[in-house]
Amino acid sequence: MSTPEIIYLIKGEDDSDGEEIGMIWSDDPAPDSYSDPDEAVVYVRADKVEREQAEAVENAFMDLARAIRKERLHGISVKGLIHAAEEYAQHLHTDDH
């Protein structure tokens, strides 16, 4: 069996005595009628996060390469585009924190 990429920590169902059994792990944020998906805590496997971040960086570089090719046709310097990309990256970095 493989390890799931995403799991949820959810409230357990009340036991027969009417007491809550605490938190349990599930592969579904709302596996039954007593679960509220908005209360589930999502855990994502680290390698999935790293893979998604790597894909995002690769997509950003591809977008930059397309912009460089496009703007060269309009006479804008590559140096100017790189500077703009660095400013944009800095903007994204400060928005994360």
pLDDT digits (tens, 9 = 90+) for 7-35: 999 988 766 676 767 888 898 888 887 78
pLDDT(63) > 70: yes
Contact 11, 49 (CB under 8 A): no
For residue 54, the Cα-to-chain-centroid distance in whole angstroms is 11
DSSP structure class, residue 92 = H
The packing angle between helices 46-73 and 78-96, to 10°, is 150
| Residue 50 · residue 37 · CB < 8 Å | no
Predicted TM-score of the model (pTM):
0.49
Domain boundaries, the chain: 6-44, 46-96
